[in-house]
Amino acid sequence: MDSKLNSSSLLLLLIFITGFVIPATVNAVGINYGQIANNLPPPEHVIPLVRSIGATKLKLYDADPRVLKAFANTSVEFIVGLGNEFLPKMKDPNNALAWVKTNVQSYLPSTKITCITVGNEVFTFNDTALSQSLLPAMQSVYNALVGLNLDKNVTVTTPHSLAVLETSYPPSAGAFRRDLKAFITPILDFHVKTGSNFLINAYPYFAYKGSPKQVPIDFVLFQPNAGVTDPVSNLKYDNMLFAQIDAVYSALASLGYKKVSVQISETGWPSKGDEDEAGANPENAKKYNGNLMKLIAQKKGTPLRPNSDLNVFVFALFNENMKPGPTSERNYGLFKPDGTLAYGLAGVSSVGSNFSAGGANGSSAGTPSLTPPSRPTASPPGSTSTGYLAISGELHLGSNCLLLQLLLLVVGLI
């Protein structure tokens, strides 16, 4: 053995030689891999962490070449992203083709890139110019994939905030905001044509944070509780996330898109928060993410779609120390930057603290082949070069709507 190998290399070598046991309780989980931090381990040291939690899918907010190269030949599937500020340029087919060649085609097939997200929660900003750019950008990226014969293996989609719903409770009454239907309907046609998923970011945490005395904590943490019954469908719900997912399915059905599949592109719970951030603590984060992973492993569907596997990406892999906003923003990670768990998860052990920190100074690490202008056109306030948004800064009207209507039914649970 080379005597020059450092302790981190020895640790990684030992893991690969002995074989890291993937916990059966968290099989096939997806994780969001954000990098708004200056103390994260280099991507090659992240591989054993991903294996330790049994993750098979990672979602990036860009197409970081360091990450995509490091995970080559690992069988981990990737979603890569294009930030909101790129949407106007991506309407040009030549720009889209150049981006796909550089950031997708060049890594295939060694790195399994299976999806491209174009923009992130675009409709949250109520920016007409940005909203009008979304579908043309998605179409240009998809056409680039077709031209390169990659469209059978790589899909194109865009994540939405739950705020795109005007009504979210009862789940059977789920409906999109009327002012967004003109934008959403063509996007749904795109999903039908290309076979891609409809992505939603859903955070029951915000419903609890907004009214901790009214919302039963067990209902949002997947803990045993009496549940609530949808008065129209007569389906029983024992957790808020499932109610949110089914509200999205109902909204899709109301527009005639019953066959479009829903994917939860973000959900999670912070392990630390400010004094006014009720429920943000390690114990609740452990319950939320741990119970969610168990449900994913059980291939359990929602009450409305009991035979459909949950398609969920947990937010997030690491605590990110450079994210702005309240304390919770920097504490959604399953792991601390040194590779130790932020809190215990059943069947998962920390890989260790012998990580070489650094090498990641934000999520915009030289990824796109197009350089964003110094003052991006149609770039919404608070966005970054990857469209990575502050969670707590979003409106999450869908959660609030669900909360207001839900309180009428769950008062008996308190």
Q: How many CB atoms lie within 10 A of CB 275?
A: 7
Amino acid at 135: L
**Active-site residue identified among 85, 166, 266, 394:** 266
Residues 384, 329: Cα–Cα separation, whole Å: 15
Kindly state the tokens that stand for 386. 């990857």
C-alpha distances in Å from residue 169, one per residue of 166, 172, 228, 288: 10, 7, 11, 21
121 as an active site residue: the answer is yes
266 as an active site residue: the answer is yes
Residues 299, 311: Cα–Cα separation, whole Å: 9
Provide φ and ψ at 209, rounded to 5°.
Answer: -60, -40
User: Which residues have a catalytic role annotated?
Assistant: 121, 266
